[in-house]
Structure 1
Amino acid sequence: MVNVDALHYRTGEPVRIRLEGSIIAGIEPLDGPLALPPDELLELPVAAPGLVDLQINGFGGHDFNHPVLTAEAVKAAVRALWAEGVTTCYPTVITGAPYTIHGAMRAIARACEEDAAAASTIGGIHLEGPFLSPEDGPRGAHSLEHIRPPDAALFDQWQEASGGRISIVTMSPEWEGSAKFIRHCVRQGVTVSIGHTSASTAQISEAAAAGARLSTHLGNGAHATLPRHPNYLWAQLAEEELWCTLIADGFHLPDEVLKVAMKVKGSRALLISDAVALAGLPPGSYDTPVGGRVVLTPEGRLHLAGQPGLLAGSAQMLLRHIARLSAAGLADLPDAWDMASVHPAGFMALPEAAGLAAGAPADIALLRRGSAGPALAALCKAGEWVYRRG
């Protein structure tokens, strides 16, 4: 039995969290005979559920889309993510040649097969592409060469290579046969998300009726200019069955867009990092396999070299996104935290959706409040302390 004394992230009240193995055995108010002296209470960290990132392409120089991804690189990425408060992640494999995607799936599967820490942290694999829009704008940085219509047989090959770990697939329902493909994935328990799309309102409605449940980084991966109405952003916002993920790093979406999406979707609006491998690296110029030469600014903005107006992906982790929402007054800190922890866990039907509660997995982030937002002090994954600051 291990006791953790902390301030509850939602209430601010001092609590004692009792851990037994990989489970939270109980949470009790820290008062009465358990009470600490007032000066010690002031020093308590804040306890919050571990973060759940449904879309991450890499971190700390480890790229899940490396042409020759290895299981060792996957293991290293998982451990690096612990320092960012992430206790569950969905490595994201994007559009590429079929054999490259197959290799990435196999490498992630091997990492899970060989390493218990990787297996417990990787909730599943997010396949983003190649069944996306071929149009400039919606396609984003995805290679036109490898964009293709939905192909159930090809998807099944990748799913087999992954050991059944593909949990989310982002696709565009503008292709003929999309509804049939969506139903094929849903029958396997795979979450289908709409993204990088130029689909019509009717096609989006048909996709939702077939079982699509999510919009991937809504507002990004889109044309620079859209018809006033109808357009695929309004259609996805209005579709009751669709949750949405948002990139709230301060660079991808204006605050007013975040505000509208969060008001419309409520607790169905989720945060993702969509971070690329350069996240966690020092500012500077880098050569990448997808964007070519890119620049990571001291502010954390990643753009194409020579074209500062064009983003080259996200380089900020969920802690930054949470702090941005809170600082902008778009959500208080506990609600912003839930958008990146218990809500995505609930969407994916994970036990971590219980948050800080008796019987829930012991996935706990201990935080210190700072002027720039919450800073991670320590991280507990399945009852094991996997990170301590310093």
Structure 2
Amino acid sequence: MIRAIHYATGGQIAISMEQGIITGIEAVPEAAPDKDALPIAAPGLVDLQINGYAGLDFNQLPMPESLLSDAVTRLWSQGVTACYPTVITNRADVIHKLLGQIARACDEDPIAARGIAGIHLEGPFISPQDGARGAHALEYVMAPDWELFCRWQEAAGGRIGIVTISPEWPGSASFIRSCADSGVTVSIGHTSATPDQIREAAQAGARMSTHLGNGAHLMLPRHPNYIWEQLAQDMLSSCVIADGFHLPDQVLKVVIKVKGKQAMLVSDAVSLSGLEAGTYTTHIGGQVVLTPEGRLHLAENEKILAGSAQMLLAGIEHLTGRGLAELAEAWDMASVRPATVMKLPSAGGLEAGAPADLVLFRREGSRIRIEQTYKGGERVYSKS
């Protein structure tokens, strides 16, 4: 049994777990003398878009045998109990190999299998236009191809749970409908689609927006444009990167207000996240600089970001520290809400009957310090 403070109610609770399930959460009398000594308990974090962590790159070939289990183990220290390794735009055969390697790791490595809820395929069915394409390689961008996607899904052992596409391509609606019918969540991103194409995509079954406001042109029409349209579509949940660098606070505030419980956080972290500040060479952005503040930019132009180097915790800290969201809402944006969209068992959150995927932490101002992480009722990380 774990005694803690409930992250949403602020009340003292006693959590009991058995066979990987939360069997009970009981209120503890507020008169208990050691309230200030108790950690805060919250559901485990779910990262729908992560490219790597602590020098471990999910788009690396060949992929070292223990890479995924090492990443999962390190992510537990960040409170992440489920993640979607993200494979980005590349040659078709390279994507096939990467997906196969992730699938084999999940089949053969119990740690990888426990931490990986699915795979996020970000591209290559995205916009070829500069700006909208972001850092994705133009030479590998292509129109949606259902037969090719099916071959990739077979290589992945059916684990592709999310695919990011731009619905600007002819035939996109048919592709989206086929994905949705097969249980794959379609997310709109890296797009230069018209509002009509966005609406058609949502009607065909698209349900998310990938890092809304990023992977976009520097200049857009006042209105209409594809950002306004995605915000306006009630069927689309919005994922945002709230690291303090990718989006201004005003944009984050608008997304949270407009989308409500459909607003979610992703890290979109690259493999340099968790490393010391310095200059690095990457296979995508070339030479990049990671600042002491956690901002990652091109070495040749500090105004151009080279990806995210912050974890979900940083997004929660930013939202709460800037007064954009209370702790419970910010935490749900990175845990219960993404789990709900992906229909994961952990969507139950911190409730009896839900999987015992939970985190114990303390707050120091706006900073969050993870003390323990539990996965399926087993303590998989302890600060001590």
Instruction: Find the counterpart in structure 1 of residue 74 from structure 2.
Output: 80
Alignment of 1:255-294 (within 5 A): 255-294=249-288
Unaligned segments of structure 1, at least 5 residues: none
Alignment of 1:188-207 (within 5 A): 188-207=182-201
Does structure 2 conserve the Cα–Cα contact (< 8 Å) formed by 1:133 and 1:197?
yes
- Measured in 2, the distance between the counterparts of 1:74 and 1:324 equals 28
Q: Which runs of 4+ in 1 moved over 4 A?
A: none
Instruction: Find the counterpart in structure 2 of residue 179 from structure 1.
Output: 173
- Measured in 2, the distance between the counterparts of 1:268 and 1:297 equals 32
Instruction: Find the counterpart in structure 2 of residue 129 from structure 1.
Output: 123
Instruction: Find the counterpart in structure 1 of residue 13 from structure 2.
Output: 15
Structure 1 residue 67 displacement after superposition: 3.0
Residue 148 of structure 2 is aligned to residue 150 of structure 1: no
Question: What one-letter code is carried by the residue in structure 2 that aligns with 1:217?
Answer: H
Alignment of 1:161-172 (within 5 A): 161-172=155-166
Residue 219 of structure 2 is aligned to residue 221 of structure 1: no
Question: What one-letter code is carried by the residue in structure 2 that aligns with 1:142?
Answer: H
- Measured in 2, the distance between the counterparts of 1:117 and 1:360 equals 20
Question: What one-letter code is carried by the residue in structure 2 that aligns with 1:167?
Answer: G
Question: What one-letter code is carried by the residue in structure 1 that aligns with 2:23?
Answer: A
Residue 58 of structure 2 is aligned to residue 60 of structure 1: no
**Which of 1, 4, 7 is 2:2 aligned to?**
4
Residue 220 of structure 2 is aligned to residue 248 of structure 1: no
Does structure 1 conserve the Cα–Cα contact (< 8 Å) formed by 2:198 and 2:230?
yes
**Residue 344 of structure 1: SS of its match in structure 2?**
helix
**Per-residue CA distance 1:255-278 (angstroms, 9 max, x = gap):** 000111111100001000000000
Question: What one-letter code is carried by the residue in structure 2 that aligns with 1:170?
Answer: T
Does structure 2 conserve the Cα–Cα contact (< 8 Å) formed by 1:71 and 1:110?
no
Q: Aligned residues, how many?
A: 384
- Measured in 1, the distance between the counterparts of 2:322 and 2:377 equals 34
Structure 1 residue 372 displacement after superposition: 4.0
- Measured in 2, the distance between the counterparts of 1:215 and 1:347 equals 12
- Measured in 1, the distance between the counterparts of 2:25 and 2:175 equals 45
Instruction: Find the counterpart in structure 2 of residue 334 from structure 1.
Output: 328
Question: What one-letter code is carried by the residue in structure 1 that aligns with 2:14?
Answer: R
**Per-residue CA distance 1:347-380 (angstroms, 9 max, x = gap):** 1111111111111100110001112422101100
Instruction: Find the counterpart in structure 2 of residue 364 from structure 1.
Output: 358
Structure 1 residue 68 displacement after superposition: 2.0
Structure 1 residue 66 displacement after superposition: 1.1
**Which of 82, 91, 94 is 2:88 aligned to?**
94
Residue 307 of structure 2 is aligned to residue 309 of structure 1: no
Structure 1 residue 208 displacement after superposition: 0.7
- Measured in 1, the distance between the counterparts of 2:65 and 2:269 equals 19
**Residue 266 of structure 1: SS of its match in structure 2?**
helix
Question: What one-letter code is carried by the residue in structure 2 that aligns with 1:319?
Answer: L
Structure 1 residue 69 displacement after superposition: 2.2
Does structure 2 conserve the Cα–Cα contact (< 8 Å) formed by 1:71 and 1:108?
no
Structure 1 residue 70 displacement after superposition: 3.6
**Which of 27, 39, 61 is 1:29 aligned to?**
27
**Residue 261 of structure 2: SS of its match in structure 1?**
helix
Per mean C-alpha deviation after superposition, the further-off stretch among 281-290 and 368-377 is 368-377
Structure 1 residue 244 displacement after superposition: 0.8
Structure 1 residue 51 displacement after superposition: 0.2
Does structure 2 conserve the Cα–Cα contact (< 8 Å) formed by 1:93 and 1:125?
yes
**Which of 221, 227, 236 is 1:233 aligned to?**
227
Does structure 2 conserve the Cα–Cα contact (< 8 Å) formed by 1:74 and 1:107?
no
**Per-residue CA distance 1:290-321 (angstroms, 9 max, x = gap):** 00000000000000002100000000000110
Structure 1 residue 145 displacement after superposition: 0.8
Structure 1 residue 100 displacement after superposition: 1.1
- Measured in 2, the distance between the counterparts of 1:348 and 1:70 equals 28
Structure 1 residue 31 displacement after superposition: 2.5
Unaligned segments of structure 2, at least 5 residues: none
Structure 1 residue 41 displacement after superposition: 2.1
**Residue 66 of structure 2: SS of its match in structure 1?**
helix
Instruction: Find the counterpart in structure 2 of residue 45 from structure 1.
Output: 39
**Residue 131 of structure 1: SS of its match in structure 2?**
coil
**Residue 78 of structure 1: SS of its match in structure 2?**
helix
Identity, % of aligned positions = 60
- Measured in 1, the distance between the counterparts of 2:64 and 2:85 equals 13
- Measured in 1, the distance between the counterparts of 2:133 and 2:65 equals 29
**Residue 250 of structure 2: SS of its match in structure 1?**
helix
Does structure 2 conserve the Cα–Cα contact (< 8 Å) formed by 1:5 and 1:16?
yes
Does structure 1 conserve the Cα–Cα contact (< 8 Å) formed by 2:78 and 2:370?
yes
